[in-house]
């Protein structure tokens, strides 16, 4: 189950350049493309003629044409034309609210009447030229909530990411979790430690010494429906840690948009936004490559964990202190699901 009345990242703009894109989101099969004015458009991936996926068709001058018998579909889900046919009585297909903002195409898979652009979180890093962003997309066979758990409990870094961002001090430093309405924040601050390899690279990238003790922080922020932004960084020790002046630290935001595909698979849009050396494209590429390697390490763990859970649905799992960020995030999700329940049942 996933909240459907929410904005999810459906794709990045480069995925809908000349061909329509078929993508399942929250159990809904969508076709995504650009309409006549270049506007991002999301429709049901179902041709009203014989049910062929429209995503196998083509887009010309913003017109989506079915690849089977040439039906031409409008951005509102109404058939515009079909060779040799009168299309007036053709049933409409579903059109999903879509917006393009912050370098992503967002869709609202639930009740279109409730879609509200104001509900899209404001992402300062995506608009402000003082920031640079690099990221990617993984398709993972796991429940979206396992990914939320993963990101809200970074103690796994010590084990899964031992050679890049892991270090024993993560395990040894307790976290603090607070809940502000629908937002859950889990934070950890480590002092006077040595920087692991990824952070040494980032320190060097910012022109700072990488062989001196540092203070390190991780502030994981969950917001509905399933987005996790993590403020991470290191500062030369004793300069104020998280609050240190910019010239003493390398800090960034790990960006995670987790879009459920099915109950047990996700589209995971990951990336990192940083506000140091924003014009250094080489540094962006280096960080992105490092993050790609690090996040790849989670895939097998999540997929095989999912397989275990499906094989043993009766097993009760533990909830330890380190799990509190994920547990609280799931409570928020459960609340949203309960609020949508009558609607999801009726749909
Ligand atoms: S199935 Fe699309 S035109 Fe026939
Ligand atoms: Fe991880």
* Residue 35, domain member (yes or no): yes
Per-residue tokens: 103: 């370098």
Ligand 1 close to Cβ of residue 309 (< 6 A): no
The dihedral through the CA atoms of 274, 272, 10, 17 has a sign that is positive
50 in ligand 1 pocket by Cβ < 6 Å? yes
Q: Which of 50, 84, 119 is the last residue of a domain?
A: 119
User: Is residue 157 located within the same domain as residue 229?
Assistant: yes
Given this model, what pLDDT does residue 113 score? 97
347 residues of the chain, pLDDT tens digit each: 999 999 999 999 999 988 999 999 999 999 999 999 999 999 999 999 999 999 999 999 999 999 999 999 999 999 999 999 999 999 999 999 999 999 999 999 999 999 999 999 899 999 999 999 999 999 999 999 999 999 999 999 999 999 999 999 999 999 999 999 999 999 999 999 999 999 999 999 999 999 999 999 999 999 999 999 999 999 999 999 999 999 999 999 999 999 999 999 999 999 999 999 999 999 999 999 999 999 999 999 999 999 999 999 999 999 999 999 999 999 999 999 999 987 655 44
**184 & 325 share domain:** yes
Q: Answer yes or no: is 247 within a domain.
A: yes
List residues bridging with 140 in a β-sheet.
Answer: 266
pLDDT at 125: 97
- Reduce the secondary structure of 244-292 to three states and give it as a string: CCHHHEEEEEEEEEEEEEECCEEEEEEEEEECCCCCCHHHHHHHHHHHH
User: Residue 34 maps to which CATH number?
Assistant: 2.102.10.10
Q: Which ligand is located closest to the Cα atom of residue 45? A: 1
Together in a domain, 189 and 78 = no
Atom of ligand 1 nearest to the CA of 52: 1
Q: Does 234 reside within a domain? A: yes
Domain co-membership, 213 together with 330: yes
In this prediction, residue 211 carries a pLDDT of: 96
**Boundary (domain end) residue, out of 85, 102, 119:** 119
- Token match 């076709």: residue? 31
What is the per-residue pLDDT across 209-264, written as a single tens digit (0 to 9) for each? 999 999 999 999 999 999 999 999 999 999 999 999 999 999 999 999 999 999 99
The reply to whether 261 falls in a domain is yes
pLDDT confidence of residue 315:
96
**What CATH number corresponds to the domain at position 261?**
3.90.380.10
CA-proximal residue: ligand 1, atom 4 (nearest): 69
Prediction pTM value: 0.96
The pLDDT assigned to 344 comes to 58
Kindly state the tokens that stand for 17.
């350049």
347 within domain boundaries? no
Q: In the chain, how many domains are there? A: 2
Residue 100 lies in a domain: yes
- In a shared domain, residues 200 and 72: no
Q: CA separation (Å) from 71 to 39, 51, 52, 64?
A: 21, 11, 10, 8
Atom of ligand 1 nearest to the CA of 82: 3
Q: β-pairing, 79-81 with 95-96?
A: unpaired
Q: From the CA of 69, give the closest atom in ligand 1.
A: 3
pLDDT at 343: 63
- Using a 6 Å cutoff on CB, does residue 47 contact ligand 1? yes
Residue 149 falls inside a structural domain: yes
From 92, 119, 146, the end of a domain falls on 119
Same domain, 51 and 160: no
Do 140 and 264 lie in one domain? The reply is: yes
Q: Are residue 109 and residue 136 in the same domain, yes or no?
A: no
Domain, as residue range, for 93: 8-119
Q: Is the CB of 214 within 6 Å of ligand 1? A: no
Distance 110 CA to ligand 1 centre (A): 26
Q: pLDDT at position 342, please? A: 72
136 plus 113 within the same structural domain: no
Q: 184 with 204, same domain?
A: yes
Please indicate, yes or no, if residue 2 is contained in any of the structural domains.
no
Same-domain pairing of 99 and 146: no
SS3 28: strand
Q: Which residues surround ligand 2, an ion (CB under 5 A)?
A: 298
Q: Is 31 in the pocket of ligand 1 (CB under 6 A)?
A: no
Considering the domain architecture, whether residues 219 and 241 belong to the same structural domain is answered as yes
CA of 62 to the centre of ligand 2 (A): 40
User: Looking at ligand 1, which residue's alpha carbon is closest to its atom 3?
Assistant: 69
């Amino acid at each position: 189950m996933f909240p459907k009345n929410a904005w999810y990242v459906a794709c990045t703009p480069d995925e809908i350049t000349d061909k329509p894109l078929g993508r399942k989101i929250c159990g809904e099969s969508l076709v995504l493309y650009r309409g006549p004015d270049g506007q991002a458009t999301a429709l049901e991936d179902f041709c009203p003629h014989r049910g062929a996926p429209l995503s196998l068709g083509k887009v010309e001058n913003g017109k989506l044409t079915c690849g089977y018998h040439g039906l031409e579909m409008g951005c509102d889900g109404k058939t515009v034309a079909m060779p040799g046919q009168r299309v007036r009585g053709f049933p409409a297909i579903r059109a999903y609210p879509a917006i393009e903002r912050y370098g992503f195409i967002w869709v609202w898979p639930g009740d279109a009447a409730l879609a509200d652009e104001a509900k899209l979180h404001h992402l300062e890093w995506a608009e402000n030229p003082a920031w640079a962003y690099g990221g990617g997309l993984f398709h993972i066979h796991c429940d979206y909530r396992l990914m939320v758990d993963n990101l809200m409990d970074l103690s796994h870094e010590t084990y899964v990411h031992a050679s890049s961002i892991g270090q024993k001090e993560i395990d040894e430093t307790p976290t603090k979790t607070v809940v502000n309405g629908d937002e859950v924040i889990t934070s950890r601050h480590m002092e006077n430690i040595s920087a692991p390899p990824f952070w040494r690279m980032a320190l060097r990238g910012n022109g700072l010494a990488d062989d001196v003790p540092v203070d390190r922080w991780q502030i994981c922020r969950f917001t509905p429906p399933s987005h996790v932004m993590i403020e991470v960084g290191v500062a030369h020790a004793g300069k104020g840690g998280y609050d240190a002046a910019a010239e003493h630290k390398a800090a960034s935001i790990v960006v995670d948009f987790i879009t459920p595909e099915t109950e047990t698979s996700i589209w995971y849009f990951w990336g990192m936004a940083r506000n140091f050396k924003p014009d250094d494209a080489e540094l962006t590429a280096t960080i992105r490559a490092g993050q790609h390697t690090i996040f790849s390490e989670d895939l097998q763990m999540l997929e095989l964990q999912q397989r275990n859970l499906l094989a043993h649905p009766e097993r009760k799992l533990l909830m330890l202190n380190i799990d509190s960020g994920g547990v609280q995030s799931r409570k928020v999700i459960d609340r949203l699901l309960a609020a949508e329940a009558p609607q999801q049942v009726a749909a």
